[in-house]
Structure 1
Amino acid sequence: MNLDAVRTFVAVADAGQFQEAAAGLSVTQQAVSKRVAALEKDLGVRLFTRTARGARLTIDGQAFLPHARALLRAGERAAASVRPGSRALRVDVIGRRLAPADLLRDFHRAHPGTELDVVTLFDADAAIAAVRSGTIDASFRAVTLPARRLPDGVEATPVHDEPIQLLTGPAHALATARAVAPGRLAGHRIWMPGLVAGTEWAAFYDDLAAAFGLTIEATGPDFGTEPLLDTIAGSSVLATFVGEQTRMVWPAEHDLRRVPLHDPTPVYPHSLIWRSDNPHPALTTLRDHLRSARPRHRGAGVWTPEWAR
């Protein structure tokens, strides 16, 4: 439906005259008449009765008016969602059940008036390119590049270190352990079919495996979280890694166990990426919130890849 025609209809309805509506829209009275006529033809009904005093809504016009106003409001919201300077803060997260989404939820609870659009891009390379182009305002990612190798104008800062846990089924040898040192996992089969070579999360787990002599298998197709949990629940030899804040739901009969890793504790390094000249006011609010929201887990007893230190 032509929104200019709908906007003209509403203007005539509010003014009660075609001439006054034309003045308010900065168009000719003839243009107003043509738009209303085209809308009436499109709808197949008369919207106004022309009188000596102006224009009076017909019964169909009265029925259409509230919907016309709703159409215009929807059009404004749609335009604002992509219009620079007025759209919601657009933030990329690696997954909607992972720690960065949790960070954003905390931010929104603290600043409920801030409008957010949450998107999910594939990897850090795609996120950095989107930040650079201005398609998104910020991204939560592990950044494997040194700061000096980021594109000009793009900045990144560590904001949250997420401890990694072992996830096992009830029959696994480590299912009842209160905590496990990463080195004790050498010889155990860690299955992570979602690892994709060249991504930042694959780089993290490659370095984790190399540091502690682990075997992480990425064999087989990745059918998603539920089939992975089904397999882990029924296996006495397979386990997987998950982030401490990863939100997962499984049937009670799976009896899956989250086992903390200590001595040292591997942490996944989440950073915020943004463009330094981005003027969105909510971006500064988000950065300030993250700076004070959560402590980072660095120091003795913690392991993270060399590129994140």
Structure 2
Amino acid sequence: MDLEAVRTFIAAAETGRFQDVATGLAVTQQAVSKRIAALEKELAVRLFIRTARGAQLTIDGQAFLPHATALMHAEQKALASVRPGRRALRVDVLARRSGMSALLRGFHEARPEVELDIVGLVGIEPAIAAIQTGEIDATFRYVAGAQDLPAGVESARVFDDRLDLLVGPRHPLAGARTVRLPQLAGHRIWIPGVVPGVEWSDYYEELASEFGLTIDGIGPHFGTDHLMDVIADSSDVASFVGEKPRLAWPDGHDLRRIPVVDPTPVYPHSLVWRSDNAHPALALLRRHLAGLGRPIGAAGSWTPAAA
């Protein structure tokens, strides 16, 4: 349906005079008449009765008017859904229960008036492609180096997420107050769902290689609850969890979250965006993250050399 014709019909219904509509829309009266005639032909009904006093709605015109108004409202919503500054800020996070998601929650609490649309893409390459096409405004990723980013795409390291060791009550390290990273060699560390070729897989491969760790990514990832169930029942399985996610396990699991030291592994989160993205909420998000005051690359921490 021609929305210009619908808009013209609404204006004619409000004024009752085609000449006034023509003046208001900056078109000729003949153009107004043609739009109304085309709309009547499409609907197969008469919308107006022409009288000496102007144009009056027929019964069909009266029936169509509220739906025509709804079409105009739908048009406005459709435009607002994609126009920067009027649509929601689209941000990609790797996992809903992660340090990245926690950063976004903090931003939402600080700026509740900013509408957010959270998406989850697998791998940095699809995320960067979505940045370039404008499908998303920003993504939180582990960026191995600025050289990996195409022209026009920028990144800033915004948060180092400390990794803790998660074990069950029967694990040999369950009683430790802290555990040294090299001390984990020989222990099975299970991180299900690690997909080869994606950036978090590269992170754990380098961590395992440098400290001789056994990191097992076998099996699908059924979520954090399943991971905690397995660890609670095991005497030899441990996992890494970030400091930001708040884990609440059932009574009886008695899990232990143990800080890792000498050095402390941290997962470096960077915000990635397109340089010419004009969405005003993106600037607000960047300022919020820059103002967190979190130490980046603190002494005693470990990140891959490429970070």
Cα contact 2:12–2:18 (8 A) shared by 1: yes
Partner of 2:150, secondary structure, is: coil
- Deviations for 1:231-263, whole angstroms, at most 9, x for unmatched residues? 222222112111111244543343433222222
Percent identity between matched residues is: 52
Hey, what does 2:39 align to over in structure 1? Answer: 35
Map 1:266-305 → 2, pairs under 5 A:
266-305=265-304
Hey, what does 2:200 align to over in structure 1? Answer: 201
Cα contact 1:159–1:271 (8 A) shared by 2: yes
**Separation in 1, partners of 2:166, 2:115:** 35
Q: What is the CA distance between 1:33 and its match in structure 2? A: 3.7
The verdict on how the C-alpha distance between 1:166 and 1:36 changes in structure 2, with shifts beyond 3 A counting, is farther
Q: What is the CA distance between 1:123 and its match in structure 2? A: 1.2
Q: What is the CA distance between 1:164 and its match in structure 2? A: 0.6
The amino acid that maps onto 1:128 is: I
Map 1:69-84 → 2, pairs under 5 A:
69-83=69-83
Q: What is the CA distance between 1:153 and its match in structure 2? A: 1.9
Map 1:248-267 → 2, pairs under 5 A:
248-267=247-266
**Separation in 2, partners of 1:62, 1:254:** 63
Hey, what does 2:138 align to over in structure 1? Answer: 138
Map 1:22-171 → 2, pairs under 5 A:
24-25=24-25, 26=27, 27-36=31-40, 38-39=42-43, 53-56=54-57, 58=59, 61=62, 65=66, 68-83=68-83, 86-144=86-144, 146-171=145-170
Q: What is the CA distance between 1:169 and its match in structure 2? A: 2.6
Partner of 2:140, secondary structure, is: strand
Where do 5+ consecutive residues of structure 1 fail to align? none
Q: What is the CA distance between 1:101 and its match in structure 2? A: 2.0
- Deviations for 1:194-228, whole angstroms, at most 9, x for unmatched residues? 11111111111112112222111112333343433
Name whichever of 266-275 and 163-172 sits farther off.
163-172
The verdict on how the C-alpha distance between 1:289 and 1:222 changes in structure 2, with shifts beyond 3 A counting, is closer
Q: What is the CA distance between 1:72 and its match in structure 2? A: 2.8
**Separation in 1, partners of 2:61, 2:231:** 62
Cα contact 1:22–1:32 (8 A) shared by 2: no
TM-score (normalised: structure 1): 0.83
The amino acid that maps onto 1:216 is: I
The amino acid that maps onto 2:96 is: R
TM-score (normalised: structure 2): 0.83
Name whichever of 199-208 and 73-82 sits farther off.
73-82
Q: What is the CA distance between 1:143 and its match in structure 2? A: 0.4
Where do 5+ consecutive residues of structure 2 fail to align? none
